[in-house]
Amino acid sequence: MKSLSSVCVYCGASSRVADVHKEAAHALGDGLARRGIRMVYGGGRVGLMGIAADAAIAAGGEVVGIIPEHIQSAEIEHTGLTELHVVDSMHTRKRMMVERSDAFVILPGGLGTLDEAFEILTWKQLQLHDKPIVIADVDGYWRPLLGLIDHMVAQGFARIDRSALYRVADQIDGVFQALGAMPDAAHPDQPRKM
Ligand code: AMP
């Protein structure tokens, strides 16, 4: 596997989800820690976010959380992290998460996860970064989204090389394989630095 020192995990803050998603979040946090890869995430204790962070910590890994002040109580900031950064806004959080990470994994989530996923995908499309992105399609959760992207391409609204922009894995083992197999650059041109 390609050597990565830190991976950003985007995922849902809801706990009212199927066990298969909780198990995937646990496997991802645990797998990152066991590979010596630091986990960067939104800093909360709730939902898949908390499960992934707890699993990484339990396996002896480093976890960096970045949480905006105004949602500190709603998402219950995690107090057992290697680093917890309380920041002024969502924008600062998202920027720091990108800056602190070598790659991104999108687990199942809701609108917040979608916002983060599209930002990181569109920034790559605009050559603002060329870091690997893996969509973890656990139990087919992201199938409608992947279908929508295919539809955008078919209708001429997006002209993308999907395999260069992102990889899809349906199991957490596959996520690690995809991170290793990811080509270095999404585009032949030199990317702009963030
Ligand atoms: P969700 O996928 O909606 O459960 O949210 C997952 C994470 O995304 C949570 O940490 C939210 O704080 C965060 N989030 C929610 N809305 C936004 C947004 N507009 N931009 C960035 N992050 C968000």
Burial profile 139-176: b = 16 or more Cβ within 10 angstroms, e = fewer: eebbeeeeeebeeeeeeeebeeeeebbbbbbbebebbb
Pocket test for ligand 1, best of 90, 95, 106 (most atoms within 8 A of CB): 90
In contact, 20 and 47? CB cutoff 8 Å: no
pLDDT-above-90 percentage for the chain: 84
- pLDDT per residue as tens digits for the range 122-154: 999 999 999 999 999 999 999 999 999 999 999
Architecture, CATH, for domain 17-181: 3-Layer(aba) Sandwich (3.40)
Ligand 1 and 61: CB distance under 6 A = no
- φ/ψ (deg, to 5) at 3: -80, 125
pTM of the model: 0.91
Say how many Å lie between the CA of residue 112 and the centre of ligand 1: 3
Read off the pLDDT band of 183 (50, 70, 90): low
Residue range 50-105, pLDDT digits in tens: 999 999 999 999 999 999 999 888 888 889 999 999 999 999 999 999 999 999 99
